[in-house]
């Protein structure tokens, strides 16, 4: 089975829950309904033909009008991978966690929560991971504006080039 | 008689001699035995992924060095391959060979550092200096190649920055002749040392199932006995042309998947890299090293995934292009990040001294976790 | 000492009717100062220089080579530097204990020099319980280290201190038991008495006199390394685990005291083993001049001790650190039973051959030489491969 056949099989099994199958992309992917992501992931993991036993990558992408969470799955026994996507509304991105399916999702989802701001329902330990606990906003969002200072520490610094030019004058 | 006991909460790091950079652990300990160690990362977060969105495709190349400064060639290569995939660029064969040579030298250097610091964390100082001595020689070679000793910035989109300098090939082969006996000597010094084996064997055992479930990659996955190497199994570059083995953990000193297995995998991988290097240096074809890539590189809109076998394992690059000169989103999934996520589970019931062993055996590099 | 003071008083040096007790006290004070600053500290310093140079060569480094010839005065420069540094005392520590702990450690390191048998006459006090005194005062270290670990109010220091206490108390047992075979052989506890019971030749040393003492010498060396917090048993200050263990919060002179004591203890370990098992200062009687003989004996003693120091440094350059559970199992499961067997075995040996067996020393010596030759054959391969001139000139 390859990626495209897997997408077809999932579409047959889940029907309307599969919103789109993109075959022309460099890495063909399948967009699924956010409510069905755990179900589909578990199906892909447990089905002997697919046996996706590893979640290699989970990425959040901010597309200004929506937020996508990309799941890159890989099957070590069958030696191929598939890509799943969920599209979430930008103002309240909530999706169920896949931590119950693969343990490796734990930290990746924490990272997405931290940097993109997607809330993963049912996650066991949804805390910020890279940024400080009290950091305002989610830095990887396109409209994120860095605050001028953090706890009294300035986050801006003079450009050394501008300073050099001032010295020259 | 009952004695009132208390759990001790210890703060290990971010300034601690053996946390390989700036990691922090909150250790809940019962005397010498840990209940758990909660990793706290982010002290080295420089938002490299965000920077990529501001500096453009070519401009991001030097920043990739900083993702993993111990093995910068692989991060270079990962980014270059992602851009080439987006832009449909074909790298000239000599360029690919140069990449493989540089990357494999980097792998040896990185593993030398890893096994050297492993010795130091266990308390043996001498292996570290011996490993560093050899690494310096590799750094000298790489410096001749690209002018840098740590953040190499050697690769470009479409090939490599510079061709091999005259006489470099002979020097590199001479170094490999020197390296193989040194490898034996290093093993004789430390690898089969009784105390060393006692300290590493049966510590931090990861079963194959757990390793896959937690998405461990590279030597950590192979240490658990699972034969998986991106260079062999999802081949990229010119790796299919070379003949090399993939060492896996065998549990020869203790349990399968313990710290000793991961250590031995790294030791043996250096030998395999040396094998690849000999073949590559002897077979390197003539020709250009850099494909023609427009200075204003604008790949068409789309997204791609690329996987590179770095010295810390499968490094997954994910890049989204919107058709402009700046990438829309870049993401790196690194081996250390996954390994770090597993430490909490592994640390339960270990001793404090074993936590140091465990971190060293997983070979985590702080900048790679935080990016 | 008392005679000297009495004779000086008799000569009227201190006036007609001097306060005798005060003068005695003054004498003791001045003399201890000379021992402390003139003998104990320089020896600790020299051992530190030896260690750093030898260790550096094992690691393909240079080591200190700038201050004085071959960096020989580095220890003096470092000592001065540490004394000039700020003496930091953490705000939350227990200041009294924190300040006092290093003195206790340095005391434990200074007191043994009183019975250090440098030669047949160069010994401050040939106590009739010399070796017992030596082992008991060196054990004071544990009190100082534990105090330092507790008073620092730092969890890493505390772990270091507790580890040290557990380690030193445990290893006192095999160390103490391994001393007794030599004491049984000599029939005395006096340092000079034990040395005089041996001869200058290796086959007259206690180490080779029978198989039990041979093993006892090795057990004693291992336990002594553990008591001196040396690699592979340097758990109390394990720098990769506990930052600097019990000494984490110390700085300046107090820090120096801990480490001077560690290096000095290295010398003391060597001296104990040399005295008990390796013939001490014994040298063939080639001159009737007491001065010449004493100088030769002094040199002999120091060469033996420094060789043992070299082995300690070598061990440190080679071996990793053991874990706390392995440390304890080594002590209680292996060293303690072995040393008991040694003690009983030696006693039985003496009962069977009261005047000594004439063949056993030769066999033991041959065995020892066989071990050395086997070892050399194994390392010869690496000697051949490496640059010989580097090894032959130690001062590059």
CATH number for position A159: 3.30.460.80
Q: Do chains B and A touch (3 or more CB pairs under 8 A)?
A: yes
Beta carbons of C321 and B122 less than 8 Å apart: yes
Spatial CB neighbours of B3, under 8 Å, sequence gap ≥ 6: none
Q: How far apart are CA C306 and CA C317, in angstroms?
A: 16
Q: How far apart are CA B204 and CA B206, in angstroms?
A: 6
| Closest partner CB to A59 (pick from B41, B213, B318) | B318
Q: What is the pLDDT of residue A163?
A: 66
Q: How far is C322 from chain B (nearest CA, A)?
A: 6
Please report the DSSP string for B278-335 in residue order: HHHHHHPPPS-SB----SS--PPSEEEEEEEEETTEEEEEEEEE-SSSSEEEEEEE-H
Q: How far apart are CA C97 and CA C152, in angstroms?
A: 9
pLDDT tens per residue, range C173-192? 898 888 888 888 888 888 88
- Which chains sit next to A, with 3 or more Cβ pairs under 8 A? B
- Residues 53-92 in C contacting B (C-alpha not used; CB under 8 Å): 55, 58-61
Q: How far apart are CA C114 and CA C32, in angstroms?
A: 9
Q: How far apart are CA C356 and CA C358, in angstroms?
A: 6
Beta carbons of C240 and B119 less than 8 Å apart: no
Interchain CB contact of C385 with B (< 8 Å):
yes
Q: How far apart are CA A103 and CA A149, in angstroms?
A: 36
| Beta partners for residue B122, in sequence order | none
Q: Is the pLDDT of residue C9 over 60?
A: yes
pLDDT category of residue C373 using cuts at 50, 70 and 90? very high
| Residue B279, both tokens | 């073949």
- Which chains sit next to C, with 3 or more Cβ pairs under 8 A? B
Nearest one of B320, B334, B61, B48 to A139, comparing CA atoms: B48
Q: Is the pLDDT of residue C1 over 60?
A: no
Least confident of B224-238, C165-179, C280-294: C280-294
Q: Is the pLDDT of residue A165 over 70?
A: no
pLDDT tens per residue, range A132-163? 888 888 888 888 888 888 888 887 777 777 76
Set of chain A residues whose Cβ sits within 8 Å of the Cβ of B233: 79
Contact indicator for B106, B65 with CB cutoff of 8 Å: no
pLDDT category of residue C370 using cuts at 50, 70 and 90? very high
Q: What is the pLDDT of residue B34?
A: 85
Q: Is the pLDDT of residue C214 over 80?
A: yes
Measured in whole angstroms, the distance separating CA A155 from the mean position of its chain's CA atoms is 27
**Helices (H), ranges, B187-308:** 194-200, 208-213, 218-223, 230-233, 259-283
Least confident of B260-269, B330-339, C8-17: C8-17
| Residue C389, both tokens | 């001139």
Q: Which domain holds residue A67?
A: 3-168
Q: How far apart are CA B63 and CA B50, in angstroms?
A: 11
Q: What's the ipTM? A: 0.83
CATH homologous superfamily of B48-338 equals: Cytochrome-c3 Hydrogenase, chain B (1.10.645.10)
| Residue B36, both tokens | 């758990």
Number of structural domains (chain A) is 1
Nearest one of B96, B119, B99 to B107, comparing CA atoms: B99
Q: How far is C295 from chain B (nearest CA, A)?
A: 37
| Closest partner CB to B16 (pick from C58, C243, C326) | C243
pLDDT tens per residue, range B146-186? 888 888 888 888 888 888 888 888 888 888 888 888 888 78
Set of chain A residues whose Cβ sits within 8 Å of the Cβ of B213: 53-54, 102-104
Going C313 to B127 to B19 to A146, the CA torsion angle's sign is: positive
Q: How far apart are CA C221 and CA C207, in angstroms?
A: 12
Beta carbons of A140 and B86 less than 8 Å apart: no
pLDDT category of residue C392 using cuts at 50, 70 and 90? low
Beta carbons of B353 and C243 less than 8 Å apart: no
Interchain CB contact of C329 with B (< 8 Å):
no
Beta carbons of C155 and B10 less than 8 Å apart: yes
Nearest one of B338, B279, B331 to B314, comparing CA atoms: B338
Q: What is the pLDDT of residue C349?
A: 87
| Closest partner CB to A26 (pick from B45, B210, B302) | B302
| Residue C152, both tokens | 């620092």
């Amino acid at each position: 089975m390859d990626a495209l056949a897997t997408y077809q099989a999932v579409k047959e099994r889940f029907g309307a829950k599969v919103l789109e199958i993109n075959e022309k992309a460099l890495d063909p992917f399948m967009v699924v309904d956010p409510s069905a992501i755990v179900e589909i992931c578990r199906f892909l993991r447990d089905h002997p033909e697919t046996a996706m036993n590893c979640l290699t990558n989970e990425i959040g992408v901010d597309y200004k009008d929506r937020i996508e969470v990309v799941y890159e799955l890989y099957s070590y026994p069958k030696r191929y991978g598939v890509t799943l996507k969920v599209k979430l509304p930008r103002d309240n991105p909530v999706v169920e966690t896949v931590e119950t399916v693969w343990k490796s999702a734990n930290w990746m989802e924490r990272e997405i929560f931290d940097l993109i701001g997607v809330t993963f329902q049912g996650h066991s330990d949804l805390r910020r991971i890279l940024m400080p606990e009290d950091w305002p906003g989610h830095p990887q969002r396109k409209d994120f504006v860095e605050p001028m200072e953090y706890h009294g520490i300035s986050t801006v610094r003079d450009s050394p080039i501008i300073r050099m030019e001032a010295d020259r004058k | 008689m009952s004695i009132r006991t208390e759990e001790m909460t210890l703060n290990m790091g971010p300034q601690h001699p053996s946390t390989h950079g700036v990691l922090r652990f909150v250790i809940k300990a019962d005397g010498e035995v840990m209940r758990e160690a909660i990793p706290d990362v982010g002290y080295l977060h420089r938002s490299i992924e965000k920077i990529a969105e501001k500096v453009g495709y070519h401009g991001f190349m030097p920043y990739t060095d900083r993702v993993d400064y111990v093995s910068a060639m692989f991060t270079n290569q990962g980014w270059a391959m992602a851009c080439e995939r987006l832009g449909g660029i074909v790298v000239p064969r000599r360029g690919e060979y140069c990449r493989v040579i540089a990357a494999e030298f980097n792998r040896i250097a990185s593993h030398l550092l890893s096994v050297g610091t492993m010795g130091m964390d266990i308390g043996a100082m001498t292996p570290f200096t011996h490993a560093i001595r050899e690494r310096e020689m590799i750094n000298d070679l790489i410096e001749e190649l690209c002018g840098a000793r740590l953040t190499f910035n050697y690769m470009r989109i479409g090939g490599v920055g510079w061709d091999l300098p005259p006489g470099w090939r002979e020097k590199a082969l001479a170094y490999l002749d020197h390296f193989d006996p040194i490898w034996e000597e290093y093993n004789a010094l430390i690898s089969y040392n009784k105390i060393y084996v006692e300290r590493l064997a049966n510590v931090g055992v990861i079963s194959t199932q757990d390793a896959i479930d937690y998405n461990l990659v590279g030597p950590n996955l192979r240490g658990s006995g699972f034969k998986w190497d991106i260079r062999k199994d999802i081949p990229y570059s010119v790796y299919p042309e070379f003949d090399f083995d993939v060492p896996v953990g065998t549990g020869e000193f203790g349990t399968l998947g313990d710290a000793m297995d991961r250590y031995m995998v790294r030791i043996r991988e250096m030998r395999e890299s040396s094998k690849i290097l000999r073949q590559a240096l002897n077979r390197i074809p003539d020709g250009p090293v850099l494909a023609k890539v427009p200075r204003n590189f604008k790949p068409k809109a789309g997204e791609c995934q690329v996987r590179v076998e770095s010295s810390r394992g499968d490094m997954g690059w994910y890049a989204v292009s919107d058709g402009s000169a700046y990438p829309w989103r870049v993401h790196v999934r690194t081996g250390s990040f996954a390994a770090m996520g597993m430490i909490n589970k592994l640390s339960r019931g270990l001793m404090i001294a074993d936590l140091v062993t465990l971190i060293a055996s997983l070979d985590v590099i702080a900048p790679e976790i935080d990016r | 000492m008392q005679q000297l003071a009495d004779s000086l008083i008799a000569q009227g040096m201190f006036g007609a009717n001097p306060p005798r007790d005060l003068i005695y006290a003054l004498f003791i004070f001045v003399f201890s100062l000379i021992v402390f600053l003139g003998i104990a500290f320089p020896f600790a310093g020299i051992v530190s220089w030896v260690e750093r140079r030898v260790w550096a060569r094992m690691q393909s480094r240079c080591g200190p080579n700038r201050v004085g010839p071959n960096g020989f005065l580095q220890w003096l420069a470092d000592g001065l530097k540490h004394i000039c540094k700020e003496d930091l005392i953490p705000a939350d520590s227990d200041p009294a204990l924190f300040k006092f702990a290093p003195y206790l450690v340095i005391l434990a390191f200074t007191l043994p020099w009183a019975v250090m048998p440098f030669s047949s006459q160069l010994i401050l006090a040939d106590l009739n319980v010399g070796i017992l005194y030596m082992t008991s005062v060196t054990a004071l270290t544990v009190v100082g280290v534990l105090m330092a670990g507790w008073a620092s109010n730092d969890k890493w220091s505390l772990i270091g201190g507790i580890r040290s206490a557990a380690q030193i108390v445990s290893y006192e047992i095999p160390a103490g038991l391994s001393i007794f075979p030599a004491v049984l052989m000599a029939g005395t506890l006096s340092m000079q008495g034990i040395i005089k019971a041996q001869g200058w030749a290796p086959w007259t040393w206690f180490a080779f006199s029978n198989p039990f003492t041979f093993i006892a010498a090795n057990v004693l060396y291992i336990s002594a390394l553990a008591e001196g917090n040396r690699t592979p048993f340097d758990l109390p200050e394990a720098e990769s685990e506990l930052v600097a263990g019990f000494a984490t919060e110390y700085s300046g002179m107090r820090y120096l005291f801990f480490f001077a004591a560690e290096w000095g203890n290295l010398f003391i370990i060597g001296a104990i083993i040399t005295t008990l098992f390796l013939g001490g200062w014994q040298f063939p009687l080639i001159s009737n001049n007491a001065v010449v003989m004493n100088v030769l004996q002094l040199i002999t003693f120091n060469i033996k001790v420094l060789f043992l120091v070299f082995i300690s440094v070598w061990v440190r350059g080679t071996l990793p650190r053991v874990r706390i559970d392995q440390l304890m199992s080594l002590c209680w499961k292996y060293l303690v039973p072995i040393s008991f067997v040694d003690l009983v075995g030696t006693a039985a040996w003496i009962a069977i051959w009261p005047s000594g067996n004439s063949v056993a020393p030769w066999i033991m010596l041959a065995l020892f030489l066989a071990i050395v030759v086997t070892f050399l054959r194994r390392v010869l391969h690496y000697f051949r491969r490496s640059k010989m001139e580097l090894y032959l000139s130690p001062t590059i």
